[in-house]
Structure 1
Amino acid sequence: MGANISDTSGRMSGLEAMPENCVALVLMHMDPTEICKLAGVNRLFRDAASADFIWESKLPCNYQFLMDKVFEFDEKKRAMVNLRKKDVYARLCRRNPLNGISKEFWLDKKTGGLSMAISWKALTITGIDDRRYWNHIFTEDSRFQTIAYLYQTWWLEVNGELKFQFPEGRYSVFFRLHLGKPSKRLGRRVCNTEQVHGWDIKPVRFQLTTSDNQHTESKCFLGSPGNWVNYYVGDFTIGSSGSNSLMKLKFSLTQIDCTHTKGGLCLDSVLIQPSSLANKAK
Protein backbone atom coordinates (compact mmCIF):
# COMPACT_ATOMS: atom_id res chain seq x y z
CA MET A 1 0.00 0.00 0.00
CA GLY A 2 2.80 2.35 0.90
CA ALA A 3 4.32 1.84 -2.55
CA ASN A 4 1.37 3.66 -4.10
CA ILE A 5 1.74 6.74 -1.89
CA SER A 6 3.41 9.60 -3.75
CA ASP A 7 6.84 10.73 -2.58
CA THR A 8 6.40 14.07 -0.82
CA SER A 9 9.99 14.38 0.33
CA GLY A 10 11.05 16.25 -2.79
CA ARG A 11 13.64 13.63 -3.66
CA MET A 12 13.89 12.03 -7.13
CA SER A 13 12.83 8.41 -7.49
CA GLY A 14 13.15 5.70 -10.13
CA LEU A 15 15.16 6.50 -13.27
CA GLU A 16 15.55 10.16 -12.35
CA ALA A 17 17.52 9.18 -9.24
CA MET A 18 20.30 7.60 -11.29
CA PRO A 19 23.57 9.57 -11.62
CA GLU A 20 23.96 11.06 -15.09
CA ASN A 21 27.45 9.61 -15.61
CA CYS A 22 26.13 6.09 -14.86
CA VAL A 23 23.41 6.51 -17.46
CA ALA A 24 25.99 7.78 -19.96
CA LEU A 25 28.22 4.74 -19.35
CA VAL A 26 25.29 2.44 -20.11
CA LEU A 27 24.37 4.39 -23.25
CA MET A 28 27.94 4.12 -24.55
CA HIS A 29 27.38 0.38 -25.11
CA MET A 30 24.37 0.99 -27.36
CA ASP A 31 24.29 1.92 -31.03
CA PRO A 32 23.53 5.54 -32.04
CA THR A 33 19.91 4.92 -33.04
CA GLU A 34 19.17 3.33 -29.66
CA ILE A 35 20.86 6.23 -27.85
CA CYS A 36 18.69 8.74 -29.70
CA LYS A 37 15.53 6.83 -28.77
CA LEU A 38 16.46 6.69 -25.09
CA ALA A 39 17.26 10.40 -25.10
CA GLY A 40 13.51 10.96 -25.24
CA VAL A 41 12.81 9.15 -21.95
CA ASN A 42 13.40 12.20 -19.75
CA ARG A 43 15.74 15.12 -19.18
CA LEU A 44 18.33 12.96 -17.39
CA PHE A 45 18.64 10.61 -20.35
CA ARG A 46 18.66 13.52 -22.80
CA ASP A 47 21.55 15.20 -21.00
CA ALA A 48 23.44 11.92 -20.58
CA ALA A 49 22.97 11.09 -24.27
CA SER A 50 24.76 14.30 -25.22
CA ALA A 51 28.04 13.38 -23.48
CA ASP A 52 31.02 13.83 -25.79
CA PHE A 53 32.74 10.62 -24.71
CA ILE A 54 29.70 8.58 -25.87
CA TRP A 55 29.72 9.99 -29.38
CA GLU A 56 33.49 10.05 -29.73
CA SER A 57 33.38 6.27 -29.23
CA LYS A 58 30.92 6.02 -32.15
CA LEU A 59 32.88 8.24 -34.52
CA PRO A 60 35.47 6.72 -36.88
CA CYS A 61 39.08 7.29 -35.82
CA ASN A 62 39.60 9.70 -38.74
CA TYR A 63 36.53 11.86 -38.06
CA GLN A 64 38.67 15.02 -37.96
CA PHE A 65 39.88 14.29 -41.50
CA LEU A 66 36.26 13.80 -42.58
CA MET A 67 35.18 17.07 -40.99
CA ASP A 68 38.04 18.84 -42.74
CA LYS A 69 36.63 17.50 -46.01
CA VAL A 70 33.14 18.71 -45.09
CA PHE A 71 34.42 22.29 -44.71
CA GLU A 72 37.28 22.03 -47.22
CA PHE A 73 36.06 24.89 -49.39
CA ASP A 74 34.59 27.01 -46.59
CA GLU A 75 37.47 28.16 -44.36
CA LYS A 76 35.36 30.87 -42.72
CA LYS A 77 32.65 28.42 -41.68
CA ARG A 78 35.20 25.89 -40.45
CA ALA A 79 36.82 28.51 -38.22
CA MET A 80 33.46 29.39 -36.66
CA VAL A 81 32.23 25.83 -36.05
CA ASN A 82 32.81 24.27 -32.63
CA LEU A 83 30.48 21.29 -32.64
CA ARG A 84 29.84 18.80 -29.88
CA LYS A 85 30.69 15.21 -30.80
CA LYS A 86 26.98 14.37 -31.08
CA ASP A 87 26.60 17.12 -33.69
CA VAL A 88 29.76 15.98 -35.49
CA TYR A 89 28.25 12.50 -35.79
CA ALA A 90 24.96 13.91 -37.10
CA ARG A 91 26.80 16.11 -39.63
CA LEU A 92 28.84 13.20 -40.97
CA CYS A 93 25.68 11.08 -41.38
CA ARG A 94 24.44 13.59 -43.95
CA ARG A 95 25.33 13.44 -47.64
CA ASN A 96 28.62 15.32 -47.76
CA PRO A 97 29.89 16.40 -51.20
CA LEU A 98 33.57 15.76 -51.88
CA ASN A 99 35.47 18.00 -54.31
CA GLY A 100 32.31 19.38 -55.86
CA ILE A 101 29.15 17.46 -56.72
CA SER A 102 30.50 14.28 -58.35
CA LYS A 103 31.49 12.46 -55.13
CA GLU A 104 30.03 12.24 -51.66
CA PHE A 105 30.51 10.38 -48.39
CA TRP A 106 28.43 9.65 -45.30
CA LEU A 107 28.35 7.58 -42.13
CA ASP A 108 25.79 4.86 -41.56
CA LYS A 109 23.51 6.16 -38.79
CA LYS A 110 23.44 2.88 -36.91
CA THR A 111 27.02 1.61 -37.21
CA GLY A 112 29.09 4.72 -38.00
CA GLY A 113 30.61 2.91 -41.00
CA LEU A 114 31.93 5.10 -43.82
CA SER A 115 30.39 4.83 -47.30
CA MET A 116 31.13 6.72 -50.51
CA ALA A 117 29.47 7.22 -53.89
CA ILE A 118 31.30 8.39 -57.03
CA SER A 119 29.24 9.67 -59.95
CA TRP A 120 29.90 8.54 -63.51
CA LYS A 121 30.96 12.16 -64.13
CA ALA A 122 34.09 11.54 -62.05
CA LEU A 123 35.01 8.45 -64.12
CA THR A 124 36.99 8.16 -67.35
CA ILE A 125 34.67 6.59 -69.92
CA THR A 126 35.70 5.81 -73.48
CA GLY A 127 33.68 7.92 -75.95
CA ILE A 128 31.52 9.55 -73.26
CA ASP A 129 31.39 12.90 -75.11
CA ASP A 130 30.35 11.33 -78.42
CA ARG A 131 26.56 11.57 -78.55
CA ARG A 132 26.44 8.82 -81.20
CA TYR A 133 27.26 6.38 -78.41
CA TRP A 134 26.35 8.01 -75.09
CA ASN A 135 23.60 10.22 -73.74
CA HIS A 136 23.20 11.97 -70.37
CA ILE A 137 19.79 11.41 -68.77
CA PHE A 138 18.25 13.33 -65.89
CA THR A 139 16.54 10.95 -63.48
CA GLU A 140 15.39 10.59 -59.89
CA ASP A 141 16.93 7.11 -59.84
CA SER A 142 20.37 8.57 -59.15
CA ARG A 143 21.58 10.41 -56.05
CA PHE A 144 23.52 12.60 -58.54
CA GLN A 145 20.39 13.35 -60.64
CA THR A 146 21.96 12.17 -63.93
CA ILE A 147 23.11 8.88 -65.44
CA ALA A 148 25.09 7.97 -68.55
CA TYR A 149 23.21 5.87 -71.12
CA LEU A 150 25.08 3.79 -73.70
CA TYR A 151 23.31 3.37 -77.04
CA GLN A 152 25.88 1.04 -78.59
CA THR A 153 29.62 0.43 -78.66
CA TRP A 154 32.24 -2.11 -79.66
CA TRP A 155 34.64 -1.13 -76.88
CA LEU A 156 33.46 -0.36 -73.35
CA GLU A 157 36.02 0.88 -70.84
CA VAL A 158 35.28 2.74 -67.59
CA ASN A 159 38.09 3.69 -65.19
CA GLY A 160 38.09 5.51 -61.89
CA GLU A 161 40.54 6.63 -59.22
CA LEU A 162 40.12 7.79 -55.64
CA LYS A 163 42.56 8.92 -52.97
CA PHE A 164 40.99 9.01 -49.52
CA GLN A 165 41.59 8.22 -45.85
CA PHE A 166 39.46 5.28 -44.72
CA PRO A 167 38.97 4.08 -41.15
CA GLU A 168 40.24 0.63 -40.28
CA GLY A 169 38.09 -2.15 -41.72
CA ARG A 170 37.13 -4.12 -44.82
CA TYR A 171 35.35 -2.40 -47.71
CA SER A 172 33.47 -3.58 -50.81
CA VAL A 173 33.34 -1.79 -54.18
CA PHE A 174 30.39 -1.94 -56.61
CA PHE A 175 29.38 -0.48 -59.97
CA ARG A 176 25.70 0.56 -60.01
CA LEU A 177 24.34 -0.39 -63.46
CA HIS A 178 20.99 -0.79 -65.19
CA LEU A 179 20.01 -2.51 -68.44
CA GLY A 180 17.39 -0.57 -70.39
CA LYS A 181 16.58 3.12 -70.73
CA PRO A 182 14.50 4.35 -67.75
CA SER A 183 11.90 7.08 -68.12
CA LYS A 184 8.56 8.19 -66.71
CA ARG A 185 5.17 7.94 -68.37
CA LEU A 186 2.08 9.40 -66.71
CA GLY A 187 4.05 9.64 -63.48
CA ARG A 188 5.03 5.96 -63.54
CA ARG A 189 8.52 4.59 -64.01
CA VAL A 190 8.93 2.65 -67.26
CA CYS A 191 11.93 1.03 -68.96
CA ASN A 192 12.69 0.66 -72.68
CA THR A 193 14.78 -2.47 -73.28
CA GLU A 194 14.76 -2.43 -77.09
CA GLN A 195 18.42 -1.38 -77.30
CA VAL A 196 19.68 -3.90 -74.72
CA HIS A 197 22.00 -6.36 -76.49
CA GLY A 198 25.39 -8.02 -76.34
CA TRP A 199 25.73 -8.51 -72.58
CA ASP A 200 24.89 -12.21 -72.69
CA ILE A 201 27.70 -13.05 -75.13
CA LYS A 202 30.78 -12.19 -73.06
CA PRO A 203 31.00 -11.17 -69.37
CA VAL A 204 32.02 -7.75 -68.12
CA ARG A 205 35.35 -7.65 -66.31
CA PHE A 206 35.76 -5.69 -63.05
CA GLN A 207 39.10 -4.85 -61.40
CA LEU A 208 40.21 -3.17 -58.18
CA THR A 209 43.78 -2.20 -57.22
CA THR A 210 45.04 -0.30 -54.17
CA SER A 211 48.23 1.65 -53.53
CA ASP A 212 49.38 -1.03 -51.05
CA ASN A 213 49.17 -3.72 -53.77
CA GLN A 214 45.82 -5.29 -52.99
CA HIS A 215 44.25 -6.53 -56.22
CA THR A 216 41.00 -8.29 -57.09
CA GLU A 217 39.24 -9.21 -60.32
CA SER A 218 35.78 -10.52 -61.09
CA LYS A 219 33.68 -11.26 -64.15
CA CYS A 220 29.93 -11.17 -64.53
CA PHE A 221 27.26 -11.31 -67.23
CA LEU A 222 24.95 -8.32 -66.93
CA GLY A 223 21.29 -9.13 -66.52
CA SER A 224 18.01 -8.20 -64.80
CA PRO A 225 16.80 -5.57 -67.34
CA GLY A 226 14.75 -2.79 -65.78
CA ASN A 227 16.43 -3.02 -62.37
CA TRP A 228 19.34 -1.19 -60.82
CA VAL A 229 21.98 -3.70 -59.75
CA ASN A 230 25.15 -3.21 -57.68
CA TYR A 231 27.75 -5.34 -59.45
CA TYR A 232 30.50 -6.49 -57.12
CA VAL A 233 34.05 -5.46 -58.05
CA GLY A 234 36.05 -6.62 -55.02
CA ASP A 235 37.13 -5.93 -51.44
CA PHE A 236 40.04 -4.05 -49.89
CA THR A 237 41.22 -3.90 -46.29
CA ILE A 238 42.50 -1.00 -44.21
CA GLY A 239 44.69 -2.08 -41.30
CA SER A 240 45.19 -0.15 -38.07
CA SER A 241 48.43 1.34 -39.40
CA GLY A 242 46.75 2.55 -42.60
CA SER A 243 43.76 4.31 -41.06
CA ASN A 244 45.70 7.57 -40.70
CA SER A 245 47.08 7.67 -44.24
CA LEU A 246 45.63 8.16 -47.72
CA MET A 247 44.73 5.06 -49.71
CA LYS A 248 44.65 5.28 -53.50
CA LEU A 249 42.12 3.08 -55.28
CA LYS A 250 41.87 2.26 -58.98
CA PHE A 251 38.77 0.47 -60.27
CA SER A 252 37.51 -0.40 -63.72
CA LEU A 253 34.73 -1.95 -65.78
CA THR A 254 35.59 -3.30 -69.24
CA GLN A 255 34.06 -5.30 -72.06
CA ILE A 256 36.51 -4.85 -74.92
CA ASP A 257 35.75 -7.89 -77.07
CA CYS A 258 35.23 -6.25 -80.46
CA THR A 259 33.60 -9.30 -82.06
CA HIS A 260 30.18 -7.93 -81.15
CA THR A 261 28.44 -4.70 -80.17
CA LYS A 262 26.69 -4.09 -76.85
CA GLY A 263 24.27 -1.40 -75.78
CA GLY A 264 21.29 -0.33 -73.72
CA LEU A 265 23.34 0.15 -70.53
CA CYS A 266 22.93 2.84 -67.86
CA LEU A 267 25.91 3.78 -65.70
CA ASP A 268 25.17 5.63 -62.48
CA SER A 269 28.01 5.45 -59.97
CA VAL A 270 30.61 3.50 -58.04
CA LEU A 271 29.68 2.63 -54.45
CA ILE A 272 32.13 1.90 -51.62
CA GLN A 273 30.72 0.41 -48.41
CA PRO A 274 31.90 -1.42 -45.31
CA SER A 275 31.73 -5.09 -46.28
CA SER A 276 29.48 -5.82 -43.27
CA LEU A 277 26.84 -3.42 -44.61
CA ALA A 278 27.27 -4.69 -48.17
CA ASN A 279 26.69 -8.29 -47.04
CA LYS A 280 23.50 -7.29 -45.23
CA ALA A 281 22.28 -5.54 -48.40
CA LYS A 282 22.93 -8.70 -50.41
Structure 2
Amino acid sequence: MDPFARLPEECISTILSLTSPMDTTRLSIVSHRFKSASDSDNVWERFLPPDYQHIVSTSVSPVSYATKKDLYFTLCHSPILLHEGNTSVSLDGRNGKKCYMLGARELLLSWGGCWSWTSHPQSRFSEVAKLKCPGWIHIRGKMKTHMLSSNTAYAAYLVFHLAERLNGLQSSRTVIRFIEPQMEQSMIKTVDGTEKLESEGTGKIAQMRGDGWMEIEMGNFYNGEEDNKEVEAWLMDINNPGGKSGLIVEGIEFRPV
Protein backbone atom coordinates (compact mmCIF):
# COMPACT_ATOMS: atom_id res chain seq x y z
CA MET A 1 0.00 0.00 0.00
CA ASP A 2 1.23 3.47 -0.86
CA PRO A 3 1.89 5.17 2.51
CA PHE A 4 1.36 8.61 0.90
CA ALA A 5 -1.98 7.73 -0.73
CA ARG A 6 -3.98 9.80 1.75
CA LEU A 7 -1.71 12.84 1.57
CA PRO A 8 -3.16 15.55 -0.71
CA GLU A 9 -1.08 16.09 -3.83
CA GLU A 10 -1.02 19.85 -3.15
CA CYS A 11 0.68 19.11 0.17
CA ILE A 12 3.27 16.90 -1.51
CA SER A 13 3.90 19.61 -4.13
CA THR A 14 4.51 22.16 -1.38
CA ILE A 15 6.97 19.82 0.32
CA LEU A 16 8.85 19.21 -2.94
CA SER A 17 9.00 22.91 -3.79
CA LEU A 18 10.91 23.50 -0.53
CA THR A 19 13.65 21.05 -1.50
CA SER A 20 15.81 21.30 -4.64
CA PRO A 21 15.54 20.20 -8.29
CA MET A 22 17.87 17.26 -7.61
CA ASP A 23 15.94 16.17 -4.50
CA THR A 24 12.62 16.48 -6.32
CA THR A 25 13.86 14.26 -9.12
CA ARG A 26 15.05 11.66 -6.61
CA LEU A 27 11.81 11.80 -4.59
CA SER A 28 9.71 11.27 -7.72
CA ILE A 29 10.47 7.54 -7.47
CA VAL A 30 9.17 7.23 -3.88
CA SER A 31 5.57 6.65 -4.93
CA HIS A 32 3.02 7.34 -7.64
CA ARG A 33 1.76 10.34 -5.67
CA PHE A 34 5.23 11.82 -5.46
CA LYS A 35 5.78 11.20 -9.16
CA SER A 36 2.60 13.07 -10.05
CA ALA A 37 3.38 15.94 -7.69
CA SER A 38 6.98 16.20 -8.93
CA ASP A 39 5.72 17.12 -12.41
CA SER A 40 3.61 20.01 -11.11
CA ASP A 41 4.13 23.49 -12.56
CA ASN A 42 3.83 24.87 -9.03
CA VAL A 43 6.91 22.91 -7.98
CA TRP A 44 9.14 23.78 -10.93
CA GLU A 45 8.17 27.44 -11.00
CA ARG A 46 9.74 27.69 -7.55
CA PHE A 47 13.01 26.38 -9.01
CA LEU A 48 13.06 28.77 -11.97
CA PRO A 49 14.67 32.22 -11.50
CA PRO A 50 12.25 34.99 -10.47
CA ASP A 51 12.85 36.73 -13.82
CA TYR A 52 12.51 33.61 -16.01
CA GLN A 53 9.58 35.10 -17.96
CA HIS A 54 11.67 38.12 -18.91
CA ILE A 55 14.57 35.90 -19.90
CA VAL A 56 12.38 33.75 -22.15
CA SER A 57 10.64 36.77 -23.69
CA THR A 58 13.96 38.41 -24.65
CA SER A 59 15.50 35.31 -26.24
CA VAL A 60 16.58 35.91 -29.84
CA SER A 61 14.80 32.66 -30.78
CA PRO A 62 11.46 31.31 -29.49
CA VAL A 63 11.74 29.01 -26.47
CA SER A 64 9.29 26.11 -26.68
CA TYR A 65 8.15 24.17 -23.62
CA ALA A 66 5.05 22.30 -22.51
CA THR A 67 5.51 22.51 -18.73
CA LYS A 68 7.62 24.47 -16.26
CA LYS A 69 9.65 21.29 -15.71
CA ASP A 70 10.35 21.18 -19.46
CA LEU A 71 11.43 24.81 -19.35
CA TYR A 72 13.73 24.19 -16.38
CA PHE A 73 15.61 21.38 -18.11
CA THR A 74 15.63 23.23 -21.43
CA LEU A 75 17.42 26.12 -19.72
CA CYS A 76 19.82 23.68 -18.03
CA HIS A 77 20.86 21.88 -21.19
CA SER A 78 20.36 24.43 -23.99
CA PRO A 79 21.65 27.96 -23.28
CA ILE A 80 19.48 30.62 -24.90
CA LEU A 81 20.88 33.70 -26.61
CA LEU A 82 20.08 37.28 -25.55
CA HIS A 83 21.29 40.76 -26.50
CA GLU A 84 21.39 40.31 -30.28
CA GLY A 85 22.86 36.86 -29.81
CA ASN A 86 26.03 38.02 -28.03
CA THR A 87 25.15 36.80 -24.52
CA SER A 88 23.84 33.43 -23.37
CA VAL A 89 22.00 32.35 -20.24
CA SER A 90 21.43 28.89 -18.80
CA LEU A 91 20.65 27.34 -15.42
CA ASP A 92 22.79 25.28 -13.09
CA GLY A 93 20.96 21.96 -12.96
CA ARG A 94 21.79 21.46 -9.28
CA ASN A 95 19.96 24.49 -7.99
CA GLY A 96 18.49 26.62 -10.80
CA LYS A 97 21.02 29.43 -10.36
CA LYS A 98 21.71 31.52 -13.46
CA CYS A 99 24.83 31.12 -15.59
CA TYR A 100 25.69 33.91 -18.04
CA MET A 101 28.31 33.90 -20.76
CA LEU A 102 29.40 37.12 -22.42
CA GLY A 103 30.33 36.28 -26.00
CA ALA A 104 33.55 37.65 -27.47
CA ARG A 105 31.63 40.52 -29.10
CA GLU A 106 30.64 41.70 -25.59
CA LEU A 107 34.25 41.77 -24.35
CA LEU A 108 36.90 44.46 -24.50
CA LEU A 109 39.92 43.04 -26.35
CA SER A 110 43.10 45.11 -26.34
CA TRP A 111 45.12 45.65 -29.49
CA GLY A 112 42.09 45.25 -31.74
CA GLY A 113 44.24 44.94 -34.84
CA CYS A 114 45.66 41.68 -33.47
CA TRP A 115 42.25 39.96 -33.49
CA SER A 116 39.97 38.73 -36.25
CA TRP A 117 36.33 37.68 -36.10
CA THR A 118 35.31 34.28 -37.36
CA SER A 119 32.69 31.57 -36.89
CA HIS A 120 33.40 28.33 -35.05
CA PRO A 121 31.39 25.09 -35.35
CA GLN A 122 31.49 24.44 -31.59
CA SER A 123 30.47 27.94 -30.50
CA ARG A 124 27.02 28.93 -29.32
CA PHE A 125 27.70 32.41 -30.74
CA SER A 126 27.83 33.44 -34.38
CA GLU A 127 31.34 34.90 -33.97
CA VAL A 128 34.42 34.24 -31.87
CA ALA A 129 37.65 36.23 -31.59
CA LYS A 130 40.86 34.72 -32.99
CA LEU A 131 44.32 36.06 -32.15
CA LYS A 132 46.10 36.81 -35.45
CA CYS A 133 49.51 37.87 -34.15
CA PRO A 134 50.69 36.79 -30.67
CA GLY A 135 51.53 39.60 -28.30
CA TRP A 136 50.15 41.31 -25.23
CA ILE A 137 46.67 40.12 -24.24
CA HIS A 138 44.15 42.09 -22.24
CA ILE A 139 40.62 40.63 -22.14
CA ARG A 140 37.91 42.23 -20.01
CA GLY A 141 34.23 41.49 -19.45
CA LYS A 142 31.65 43.26 -17.27
CA MET A 143 28.38 41.88 -15.90
CA LYS A 144 25.51 43.62 -14.11
CA THR A 145 25.18 41.88 -10.76
CA HIS A 146 21.37 42.20 -10.66
CA MET A 147 21.22 39.82 -13.63
CA LEU A 148 22.93 37.08 -11.60
CA SER A 149 21.30 35.00 -8.87
CA SER A 150 21.43 36.71 -5.48
CA ASN A 151 23.08 35.28 -2.37
CA THR A 152 25.20 33.07 -4.57
CA ALA A 153 28.93 32.38 -4.88
CA TYR A 154 30.14 32.79 -8.46
CA ALA A 155 33.34 32.32 -10.42
CA ALA A 156 34.30 33.84 -13.78
CA TYR A 157 35.93 31.71 -16.47
CA LEU A 158 37.59 32.57 -19.75
CA VAL A 159 36.28 30.09 -22.36
CA PHE A 160 38.71 29.48 -25.21
CA HIS A 161 40.60 27.18 -27.55
CA LEU A 162 44.39 27.23 -27.75
CA ALA A 163 45.60 25.34 -30.77
CA GLU A 164 49.18 24.52 -29.87
CA ARG A 165 49.83 24.79 -26.11
CA LEU A 166 46.98 24.21 -23.69
CA ASN A 167 49.02 25.70 -20.84
CA GLY A 168 49.82 28.91 -22.70
CA LEU A 169 47.68 31.07 -20.39
CA GLN A 170 48.94 29.75 -17.06
CA SER A 171 51.23 32.72 -16.50
CA SER A 172 48.42 35.21 -17.10
CA ARG A 173 47.32 37.61 -14.37
CA THR A 174 43.61 37.59 -13.62
CA VAL A 175 41.62 40.17 -11.69
CA ILE A 176 37.96 40.18 -10.66
CA ARG A 177 36.28 43.06 -8.83
CA PHE A 178 33.05 44.92 -8.25
CA ILE A 179 32.68 48.44 -9.60
CA GLU A 180 30.64 50.55 -7.20
CA PRO A 181 28.42 53.18 -8.88
CA GLN A 182 29.71 56.73 -8.39
CA MET A 183 32.71 55.54 -6.39
CA GLU A 184 36.34 55.74 -7.36
CA GLN A 185 37.31 52.56 -5.51
CA SER A 186 36.23 49.14 -6.63
CA MET A 187 35.44 46.37 -4.16
CA ILE A 188 35.22 42.59 -4.38
CA LYS A 189 33.15 40.26 -2.25
CA THR A 190 34.85 36.91 -1.96
CA VAL A 191 33.08 33.57 -1.60
CA ASP A 192 32.93 33.92 2.19
CA GLY A 193 31.27 37.36 1.89
CA THR A 194 34.24 39.45 3.06
CA GLU A 195 35.24 42.49 1.02
CA LYS A 196 38.55 43.62 -0.40
CA LEU A 197 39.71 45.82 -3.26
CA GLU A 198 40.57 43.16 -5.81
CA SER A 199 40.90 39.41 -6.19
CA GLU A 200 43.95 38.45 -8.23
CA GLY A 201 45.47 35.19 -9.39
CA THR A 202 48.09 33.60 -11.63
CA GLY A 203 49.09 30.10 -12.60
CA LYS A 204 45.57 28.68 -12.97
CA ILE A 205 45.30 25.39 -14.85
CA ALA A 206 43.04 25.26 -17.88
CA GLN A 207 40.33 22.59 -17.80
CA MET A 208 38.36 20.86 -20.55
CA ARG A 209 34.62 21.66 -20.61
CA GLY A 210 31.83 19.33 -21.63
CA ASP A 211 31.06 21.45 -24.70
CA GLY A 212 34.51 20.93 -26.23
CA TRP A 213 36.04 24.27 -25.15
CA MET A 214 38.70 24.93 -22.53
CA GLU A 215 38.24 27.23 -19.55
CA ILE A 216 40.50 28.92 -17.03
CA GLU A 217 39.19 30.39 -13.78
CA MET A 218 39.65 34.15 -13.50
CA GLY A 219 38.48 34.51 -9.88
CA ASN A 220 35.45 34.21 -7.64
CA PHE A 221 33.08 36.51 -5.78
CA TYR A 222 29.86 36.55 -3.77
CA ASN A 223 26.74 38.17 -5.20
CA GLY A 224 24.64 39.41 -2.27
CA GLU A 225 20.96 40.10 -1.81
CA GLU A 226 20.94 43.77 -2.76
CA ASP A 227 24.06 44.09 -4.90
CA ASN A 228 23.44 46.44 -7.82
CA LYS A 229 26.86 46.93 -9.29
CA GLU A 230 28.99 45.65 -12.10
CA VAL A 231 31.44 42.81 -11.66
CA GLU A 232 34.48 43.06 -13.89
CA ALA A 233 36.80 40.19 -14.87
CA TRP A 234 40.18 40.74 -16.56
CA LEU A 235 42.83 38.48 -17.97
CA MET A 236 46.20 40.06 -18.79
CA ASP A 237 49.26 38.42 -20.30
CA ILE A 238 52.32 40.30 -21.58
CA ASN A 239 54.72 37.34 -21.54
CA ASN A 240 55.42 34.29 -23.72
CA PRO A 241 53.68 35.43 -26.91
CA GLY A 242 54.45 32.17 -28.71
CA GLY A 243 52.56 30.19 -26.06
CA LYS A 244 49.30 31.80 -27.10
CA SER A 245 49.46 30.77 -30.74
CA GLY A 246 46.04 29.88 -32.09
CA LEU A 247 44.08 31.46 -29.21
CA ILE A 248 40.34 31.58 -29.95
CA VAL A 249 38.11 33.31 -27.38
CA GLU A 250 34.45 32.34 -27.11
CA GLY A 251 33.65 34.46 -24.07
CA ILE A 252 33.67 34.92 -20.30
CA GLU A 253 31.23 32.84 -18.26
CA PHE A 254 29.90 33.77 -14.81
CA ARG A 255 28.84 30.51 -13.16
CA PRO A 256 27.81 29.43 -9.64
CA VAL A 257 30.44 27.47 -7.74
TM-score scaled by structure 1? 0.65
The one-letter code matched in structure 1 to 2:58 is: E
* Alignment map for 1:130-145 (pairs within 5 Å): 130=113, 133-144=114-125
Would you say how many aligned residue pairs link Structure 1 and Structure 2? 231
Which among 42, 51, 56 is matched to residue 70 of structure 1? 56
Please, which moves more after superposition, 160-169 or 142-151?
A: 142-151
Tell me the equivalent position of 1:4. none
2:59 and 2:82 in contact (8 A); partners too? no
CA distance in 2, matches of 1:141, 1:269: 13
User: Given the alignment of the two structures, is residue 121 of structure 1 paired with residue 105 of structure 2, yes or no?
Assistant: yes
- Cα 1:108–1:222, aligned 2, differ >3 Å: closer, same or farther? closer
User: Given the alignment of the two structures, is residue 152 of structure 1 paired with residue 143 of structure 2, yes or no?
Assistant: no
- Cα 1:86–1:219, aligned 2, differ >3 Å: closer, same or farther? same
Unaligned runs of at least 5 residues, structure 1: 1-12, 181-192, 276-282
Unaligned runs of at least 5 residues, structure 2: 181-186, 189-197
CA distance in 2, matches of 1:229, 1:71: 30
Q: CA RMSD in A?
A: 3.8
Which among 162, 167, 173 is matched to residue 156 of structure 2? 173
2:206 and 2:216 in contact (8 A); partners too? no
CA distance in 2, matches of 1:44, 1:163: 42
Tell me the equivalent position of 2:251. 269
User: Given the alignment of the two structures, is residue 49 of structure 1 paired with residue 49 of structure 2, yes or no?
Assistant: no
- Cα 1:44–1:250, aligned 2, differ >3 Å: closer, same or farther? same
Tell me the equivalent position of 2:2. 14
The one-letter code matched in structure 1 to 2:238 is: I
Tell me the equivalent position of 1:254. 236
1:108 and 1:115 in contact (8 A); partners too? yes
* Alignment map for 1:69-88 (pairs within 5 Å): 69-72=55-58, 86=69
User: Given the alignment of the two structures, is residue 230 of structure 1 paired with residue 219 of structure 2, yes or no?
Assistant: no
Deviation at 1:104, TM superposition (A): 0.9
Give the share of equivalent positions with the same residue, in percent. 21
1:199 and 1:221 in contact (8 A); partners too? no
Map Cα deviations across residues 16-39 of structure 1 (whole Å, 9 max, x no partner): 733323432443355325535665
- Cα 1:41–1:224, aligned 2, differ >3 Å: closer, same or farther? closer
2:173 and 2:201 in contact (8 A); partners too? yes
- Cα 1:47–1:232, aligned 2, differ >3 Å: closer, same or farther? same
- Cα 1:57–1:234, aligned 2, differ >3 Å: closer, same or farther? same
Residue 241 of structure 1 aligns to a residue in which SS? coil
Deviation at 1:199, TM superposition (A): 4.4
1:125 and 1:158 in contact (8 A); partners too? yes
Deviation at 1:274, TM superposition (A): 0.7
Residue 24 of structure 1 aligns to a residue in which SS? helix
Tell me the equivalent position of 1:23. 12
User: Given the alignment of the two structures, is residue 240 of structure 1 paired with residue 222 of structure 2, yes or no?
Assistant: no
1:147 and 1:268 in contact (8 A); partners too? yes
1:70 and 1:97 in contact (8 A); partners too? no
CA distance in 2, matches of 1:52, 1:158: 41
Tell me the equivalent position of 2:191. none
Which among 152, 160, 174 is matched to residue 206 of structure 1? 174
CA distance in 2, matches of 1:32, 1:198: 36
Map Cα deviations across residues 217-253 of structure 1 (whole Å, 9 max, x no partner): 112377799x8432111111122233xxx43122211
The one-letter code matched in structure 1 to 2:55 is: K
CA distance in 1, matches of 2:115, 2:205: 18
CA distance in 1, matches of 2:115, 2:225: 42
